[in-house]
Chains A and B, each alone.
Chain A
Amino acid sequence: MTTRTLEMALATPGLDPSGRPARLPLRPKKGSDDEFGAEHMLVNIGPQHPATHGVLRLVLELEGETVKRCIPHVGYLHSGFEKLGEYRHYNQIIPLTDRTDYLSPMANNVCLALAAEKLMGIEITERCQVLRVIACEMSRIISHLVWLGTTGIDLGAFTPFLWSFYQRERIYNLQEAWTGARLTTSLTRIGGMMADVPEGWEAGLREFCRTFPDTLNEVDTMFTRNSIWCGRTQGVGAMTAAEAINYSLSGPMLRASGVAYDVRKDRPYLGYESYDFDVPVGEYGDIYDRYRVRLEEMYQSNRILEQALDRLARLAGAPVNTADHRVILPPKHRAMSDMEAMIHHFKQVMEGVAAPPGEAYLGIENPKGELGYYFVSDGTAKPVRWRIRPPSFINLACLPKLCEGALLSDVIAINASVDIVMGEIDR
Chain B
Amino acid sequence: MTAESMLVPGVEALRAAFGGAVLRQTVSCGDSIVTVDRDRAHEVLAWLKETPGQEFDYLTDITAVDYRDPERALEVVYQLRSLGRRVDLRIKVPLDKSQPLEVDSVWDLWKGADWLEREVYDLFGVVFKGHPDLRRILMWETYAEGHPLRKDFPLRGNFSRAEQTRQALAANPEAHYSMEELSIADAFDELPDDMKRRLAQGERGEIR
Contacts and interface: CB of A to CB of B under 8 A. Distances in A.
Interface in A365-404: 370, 372, 374, 376, 378, 384-385, 387, 389, 393-394, 396-398, 401
A343 interface: no
Residue from B134, B180, B201, B202 having most chain A Cβ neighbours under 10 A: B180
B91 to A, nearest CB: 12
Contacts of A396: 115
Interface stretch (A77-85, A294-302, A334-342): A77-85
Interface residues of A, number: 63
Given A78-B138, A84-B155, A259 B183 contact: no
A420 B63 CA distance: 21
Interface string B137-174: 11111000000110001010000000000000000000
Interface in B63-97: 63, 65-68, 77, 79, 83, 86, 88, 90
A387 B30 CA distance: 18
A359 B30 contact: no
Interface string A50-89: 0000000001000000000001011100101011100100
Contacts of A44: 184
Contact of A11 (B57, B112, B132, B187): B132
Given A26-B183, A118-B29, A385-B65, A397 B115 contact: yes
Contacts of A358: 28-29
Interface in B39-63: 57-61, 63
A73 to B, nearest CB: 7
A387 B183 contact: no
Contacts of A385: 63, 65-66
A210 interface: no
Contacts of B134: 11
Contacts of A10: 132-133
Contacts of B112: 246-249, 394, 397-398
Contacts of A19: 196, 199-202
A389 B79 contact: yes
Interface string A6-31: 00001101110011111111110000
Contacts of A59: 180, 184
Contacts of A376: 65, 67
Contacts of A20: 183, 186, 196, 199-200
A426 interface: yes
A156 to B, nearest CB: 29
B31 A359 contact: yes
B110 A246 contact: yes
Given A10-B132, A361-B90, A374-B63, A80 B148 contact: yes
Interface size class of B (residues with CB under 8 A): 35 or more
A144 interface: no
A301 B20 CA distance: 49
B139 A78 contact: yes
Contacts of B86: 266-267
B37 interface: no
Contacts of B123: 82
Contacts of A359: 28-29, 31, 33
A393 B115 contact: yes
B114 interface: yes
A315 B30 CA distance: 30
Contact of B111 (A24, A27, A247, A393): A247
Contacts of A394: 112, 115-116
A213 to B, nearest CB: 31
A78 B116 CA distance: 15
Nearest to A57: B180
B179 interface: yes
B29 A360 contact: yes
A21 B186 contact: yes
A407 B196 CA distance: 34
B58 A248 contact: yes
Contact of A378 (B29, B67, B180, B196): B67
Contact of A360 (B28, B155, B200, B201): B28
B73 to A, nearest CB: 13
Residue from B57, B67, B86, B187 having most chain A Cβ neighbours under 10 A: B187
Interface string B188-208: 100000001001111000000
B182 interface: yes
Nearest to B143: A75
Contact of B137 (A26, A74, A374): A74
A23 B134 CA distance: 13
Interface of B: 28-31, 33, 57-61, 63, 65-68, 77, 79, 83, 86, 88, 90, 110-116, 119, 123, 132-141, 148-149, 153, 155, 178-180, 182-184, 186-188, 196, 199-202
Give the 4 A-B residue pairs with the shortest CB-CB distance, closest first: A19-B200, A248-B112, A360-B29, A21-B183
Given A15-B202, A82-B123, A398-B111, 8 more contacts: A42-B184, A44-B184, A73-B180, A75-B138, A75-B140, A248-B59, A248-B116, A361-B90
